[in-house]
Amino acid sequence: MLNEVRSQLLEELSEIDKAGTHKSEAKITSMQGAHLTIDGKPFINFCANNYLGLSNHSEIISAVKESLDDRGYGLSSVRFICGTQDIHLELETRLSQFLSQEATILFPSCFDANGAIFDVLMKEQDAIISDELNHASIIDGIRLSKAQRYRYKNRDMADLEAQLIAAKSARRRLIVTDGVFSMDGYLAPLPEICALADKYDALVMVDDSHAVGFMGATGAGTAELLGVTDRVDILSGTLGKALGGASGGYISARKEIVDLLRQKARPYLFSNSVPPSVVIGSLKALELVAKGDELRAKLKQNAALFRELMESAGFTLLTGQHPIIPVMFSSEIEAAAVAKGLHERGIHAVAFSYPVVPLGKARIRIQLSAQHSKSDINQCVQAFTDAYANR
């Protein structure tokens, strides 16, 4: 059997190679930061979700070091068997306050949070109405539920309305969207989504992984930025991006939803607690976010500066207000050649092409951080110019 399976797998791997979709991983030998070391060489990093620069923040590192003496390394149990540390409850309370939701439940990751919610909340008689570009974890989470499935075109409100009409006879309706679509940096039109939810009597869920910590006046995310905090029923998000970048996810929602998840969510019930050190690090990250006006302003300035310099240099960008900034190219080959040129010039950034993005929409996705200096951004723009000239 083994030999047969091996040759089948090798064939599948070689098909991935042939399709040009093989993914290789940079070997980083430093901390995650605006600057890092890959294979012994220095790079400026423009492809991390380290929006506020908290991934290597000294205050988080000190707090985590201390926590190890106090709380140990691991919990070696799920919460309903051995118990819950007070710090886990504290983090849940803090997240609820921060996000203006009634209650919060932690998961090992946001992937797990999205894997849990639909199965628990949505049954055969119910309908989930999902944006076509939602994150893989939402797509998989919906697959795990027996609810009826409806999909609408990315941010297309006429199509959303059509799907809501089609789902009219369902017992419950739930509209689910990413707050920010990560390949484009586009925001979900939450006010319009909420208005349609009111009109057709639906719940609204937003996965704000690419916004929590830095979008909105206090960093509470896209709902805050777009003024619909009170209307959103369910938020999911990650602790693995702006909020320190380690791991962990959450659902923040109406209390009854969170209570039911604690009883029935399988990735919560049957997977280990978030490690104490990560909980302490996340509490510290939330503290830094609470006094993070300067970091958020710096991030905004950095994104604006990069946009301005790149546009003056003649590059085509997708418009937007998010620190994800896609630089567009006329072909997949061109994008790949420029990405290679960036790498040779010490810029760490990644090209995305079909099938990750639509055919003819190849791009290099740049992600800004509050940790980037003006000089970092200048070097990046210069590298784009030189790499493009020598492509």
Catalogue the active-site residues: 182, 210, 241
CB of 305 to ligand PLP, least distance (A): 24
CB of 122 to ligand PLP, least distance (A): 18
Q: Which is nearer to ligand PLP, 33 or 249 (CB)?
A: 249
Residue 363 · residue 324 · CB < 8 Å: no
Q: Which is nearer to ligand PLP, 163 or 236 (CB)?
A: 236
Q: Which is nearer to ligand PLP, 96 or 209 (CB)?
A: 209
Interface ranges with ligand PLP (CB under 6 A): 109-111, 135, 137, 178, 182, 207, 209-210, 238, 240, 249
CB of 249 to ligand PLP, least distance (A): 4
Report the C-alpha gap between 3 and 26 in whole angstroms: 31
Distances (CA, A) of 229 to 57, 97, 117: 29, 12, 20
Report the C-alpha gap between 299 and 306 in whole angstroms: 11
Q: Which is nearer to ligand PLP, 111 or 268 (CB)?
A: 111
Beta pairing class for 41-45 and 347-348: parallel
Residue 246 · residue 278 · CB < 8 Å: yes
CB of 320 to ligand PLP, least distance (A): 16
Q: Which is nearer to ligand PLP, 138 or 381 (CB)?
A: 138
CB of 3 to ligand PLP, least distance (A): 36
Report the C-alpha gap between 9 and 161 in whole angstroms: 43
Residue type, 91: L
